[in-house]
Structure formats: structure tokens, C-alpha cells
Amino acid sequence: MNSDELAISVVVPVYDNADVIGDVVRAFLTQEGLRSPFELVIVDDASRDDPRQAIGPLLEDARVVLVRNETNLGAAATRNRGLDLARGRIVVLSDGDCVPAPGFLRAHETAHEERSHVDTAVLGQIEYPPAVTVTPLMRLGNVVEFWTAPGVGETSTDFKLFHTTNISLKREFVSERFDAELFSMSGWEDNEMGWRMARRGLRFASAPLAISYHHHFLGPEEFLEKCYRYGRLLSRWMAACSAEERQELERRFRPRAGGGSGLGTRLMVNRITFPIVRALAAWTEAWGPAFSASLYWKLYPFLFERGFRNRAVAGVRDALGDR
């Protein structure tokens, strides 16, 4: 297909998503109402499972492009490779665990047709899969809990809205790439890129009919590791900034993880009480999931702050001496 004819390139990074990537590809290939050609660029970040086998005969569709990293490079570098391969006038960033609704691409296409500004990014909507009964523990650290696109105004320029799970941009505006050196692990790489793009005038609009269903749920221990990792990565990001930039990031991101979480939480969870609260949360998972989830959420600000102050220490167990 001639690149001049392509309206949309969908970039999907994949890592160990063989259980759902087949559904993702099928959903993209059966999109409804789309008036223009598109391509689906899948970048496998050296998965331990086999996405090619999961996708199977769908790879025979000329719209599907699948490439594989020789080694695991992380989400930032993997998305960069997808951006380098993308040929469409509009680039849609999604994920290997997000299944689009039938009108997903049409909604993104329409939103850009209605907005001629080259600097407009369109945010879709992320929801839980309709067929899944979501428990309180399944909500831990889930992107759906933090999705803010429905409230986006037509003139919003808040870089915190830049989330790569469901966003589209005009390719001519995407001169930046994700900072793969600073963010070798997943966390903040999308906000950091949005921050740089906002300096060039990036604005946001909402496409509420561009719905994608998020099929990934963290276990409690994965959630705790994510809390710690996000603290570490924010600290690394701030260390690479000027004093003025650090102040802005401190104001925008760190309060919700540390001082802004309430006196009761800060007094309850410290280095001494952390293992007690974690054990209680684990003990109540089966018979009191809502209470258990509330305890895990109380651990979030403590672990984030520990990660922020120990950015050279790789994980929760090492940072807390829990071996």
C-alpha cells in the first residue's frame, strides 16, 4: 500500500500478551465505519511467549506489520520503533492488552477531521472489559482508575493527559521520541514525552466513542512493585531536570504519593508497620477483598516515597530488606 494513501497507523507494543493479542488484532481488522486505509504496526519487545503464534493467519492481512526486538528494550524504545515504522498521517498509540471497540478508529479519525490543528492530540476512553466482573483487588494500579479523558476540554494543554494507552496524533507533529535511556522500564515515559510536546503547543481533545477495553490486571505484589518503581522513575526524571523543572514535577506528581495522602495514612504506614499492613492485606484478600484493596492502596504512598528516595535500589524487597 502506498504510504500516501494511509490515513492511520496504529502502533501496538507487545510484551507477553499472547493471551489477548489475537483478540486485539482481530478487533482492529474488523473496525466499523472507517473510511480510510490503515496499518497495524505491532512491535514485539522480545516476549517470552509467542505473539506470532497467537496472531496466526491474521498476519496474512497486508495491513498487519509485525516486528520483533532481538532483546527486551522496554516500552519507550519499543514504541519508538513503532513510531519510526508508522506511515499514516495519524498515529494511534495503543497497547497489546487493549482491545478496541468496533468504532474505535472511526472515532479517532472523525476527531481529527473535525480539528485541523496539527498540534491536537485526541484521547479516547479506556474501560474494563464488559464480560469481566472486576473486583476491588483487580482495580489496584489499573490504568482505568486514573483515566481522565472524559473531562478533557477542547483547549486543555495539561501534559499529564498524555497516556499512550489510547491517544492519537498527527504524525507531522510527532518529531519527538520517548526517552528510552531515561525510562528503560515502564513508568512516566508518556508524561515526559507529553511534557516536551506541550512546550511546542500540544493541546488535547476527547473522543469518548474511541473506546478500548483494558485486559490487564495486576496482582497485589505486582501493584506494590509498580508503586515503588514509579517513585524510582520519577526521581530519575527529576534528577535529569533543571531546578525550575524539578519544582514543577514535584508540584504535579509527588504530592499525591507523599505529603498529599493524609496524616492518617502517613502515620499508619512506615518502615515498621509496612510488613504488618501488607500481611493484613494479604490475609483479607479472600474474604474481604474491598478491605484488602483499601489496605494495599494505603501502602502506595509509602512505597512510592521509598522508591523516590532509593532510586538506585531495584525493587521493594531489596529496599525494605525483605528477602
pLDDT (tens digit per residue) in 37-79: 999 999 999 999 989 999 989 999 999 999 999 999 999 999 9
CA distances for 74 relative to 81, 95, 184, angstroms: 11, 13, 5
Same-domain pairing of 130 and 225? no
Say if residue 271 is in the same domain as residue 315.
yes
| Residues 136 and 263 placed together within one structural domain of the fold | no
pLDDT in tens, the chain (323 residues): 455 568 999 999 999 999 999 999 999 999 999 988 999 999 999 999 989 999 989 999 999 999 999 999 999 999 999 999 999 999 999 999 999 999 999 999 999 999 888 999 999 999 999 999 999 999 999 988 877 555 555 567 788 889 899 999 999 999 999 999 999 888 999 999 999 999 999 999 989 999 999 999 999 999 999 999 999 999 999 999 999 999 999 888 875 544 444 444 455 788 899 999 999 999 999 999 999 999 999 999 999 999 998 865 555 555 555 53
- Residue 321's pLDDT is 54
Counting the structural domains of the chain, the total is 2
Asked which of 214, 244, 278 is the last residue of a domain, the reply is: 214
Q: What DSSP letter does each residue of 243-275 carry, written as one string?
A: HHHHHHHHHHTHHHHTGGG-HHHHHH-STTTHH
69 and 109 in a single domain? The answer is yes
Closest CA to 237 of 223, 248, 226: 248
42-194-183 Cα angle (round to 5): 65
User: Would you say 180 and 74 are in contact if contact means Cβ atoms under 8 Å apart?
Assistant: yes
State if pTM tops 0.85: yes
Q: H or E segment at 10?
A: strand 8-14
44 shares a domain with 110: yes
The pLDDT of residue 313: 52
If asked whether residues 163 and 230 sit together in one domain, one would say: no
Same domain, 283 and 184: no
pLDDT for the residue numbered 260 = 41
CB burial string 207-237: b at 16+ within 10 A, e below:
beebbbbbbbbbebeebbbbbbbbbbbbbbb
pLDDT of residue 323: 39
Does 141 share its domain with 115?
yes
User: At 111, which CATH number?
Assistant: 3.90.550.10
Task: Give the end of a domain, one of 168, 196, 214.
Answer: 214
- Coil, helix or strand for 229? helix
- Give residue 147's pLDDT: 74
Sheet holding 167-170, edge to edge: 64-68, 38-44, 8-14, 90-93, 167-170, 120-127, 203-214, 98-100
Residue that finishes a domain, picked among 214, 245, 273? 214
Counting other chains too, the contacts that 316-319 makes at CB distance below 8 Å and 24 or more residues apart are: 316/224, 316/225, 316/228, 319/228
Structural domain containing residue 55: 3-214
- Whether residue 175 sits in one domain with residue 190: yes
Q: Which helix (H) or strand (E) holds 40?
A: strand 38-44
Q: Are residues 115 and 177 in the same domain?
A: yes
Same domain, 201 and 244: no
